[in-house]
Amino acid sequence: MSYTASEFETLYRQFFPSAMRLAMSMLHDENEARDAAQEVFVRMWESEGAIDNPAGFVMRSVRNTCISRIRHLDIRDKVHQRIMLEAPPDDCDIEQMNQATRAAMDRLLTNRERQMVEKVYSEGLSYKEAAVSLGVTVSAVNKNLVAAMKKLRNHFKNIEI
Amino acid sequence: MTDQQKDILIAKMLESPASLSAYEVEMIIGDEELRDIYDASSRVDSALHPMPSIDVDAEWNRFKARISRKRFALGRVLRVAAAVAAVMLVAVSVILRVERFEYVKAEPESSAHNPGARSVSKVVKDSHNLLVAVENDLQAEAPRRSVASLKKQPETNVKVVEEANGEPIDIDEYLRVQQARIDNDLALCAAEVYEDQYNQIRPMLDAFDDDYSDLDNTIQSVIMQ
Q: What is the pLDDT of residue B123?
A: 55
Q: What is the pLDDT of residue B206?
A: 76
Alpha-carbon distance of B117 to B101, in angstroms, equals 7
Q: What is the pLDDT of residue B146?
A: 47
Q: Which of A13, A42, A99 sits opposite B66 (nearest CB)?
A: A42
How far is the alpha carbon of A52 from chain B, nearest alpha carbon, in Å? 22
Chain A interface disruption, residue of B44, B202, B206, most A CBs within 10 A: B44
| CA proximity to B25, closest of B33, B155, B34, B62 | B34
Q: Which of A16, A80, A98 sits opposite B20 (nearest CB)?
A: A80
Which of B16-20, B125-129, B172-176, B216-220 shows the lowest mean pLDDT across its residues?
B125-129
Q: Tell me: the pLDDT tens digits for A93-103?
A: 888 889 999 99
Question: Which is more confident, B223 or A115?
Answer: A115
Mean pLDDT of B185-210: 77
How far is the alpha carbon of A50 from chain B, nearest alpha carbon, in Å? 18
- Residue in A with minimal Cα distance to B70: A42
Tally the C-alpha atoms within 13 A of residue B34's C-alpha that lie toward its C-beta: 23
Contacts of B17 in chain A (CB under 8 A): 79-82
Does B153 have pLDDT greater than 50? no
Q: Does A102 touch chain B (CB under 8 A)?
A: yes
Q: Which of A103-112, B122-131, B172-181 has the highest mean pLDDT?
A: A103-112
Are the Cβ atoms of B29 and A85 closer than 8 angstroms? yes
pTM comes to 0.58
Mean pLDDT of B25-40: 92
Percentage of chain B exceeding pLDDT 90: 22
Q: What is the pLDDT of residue B156?
A: 46
Tell me if A119 sits within 8 A of A130, measured CB to CB: yes
Contacts of B11 in chain A (CB under 8 A): 127, 142, 146
What are the b/e assignments for A23-57, b being 16+ CB within 10 Å? Answer: bbbbbbbeebbbebbbbbbeebbeeeeebeebeeb
Q: Which of A68-77, A79-88, B134-143 has the highest mean pLDDT?
A: A68-77
Question: Which is more confident, A92 or A144?
Answer: A144
Tell me if A28 sits within 8 A of A82, measured CB to CB: yes
Are the Cβ atoms of A121 and B49 closer than 8 angstroms? yes
- Residue in A with minimal Cα distance to B58: A13
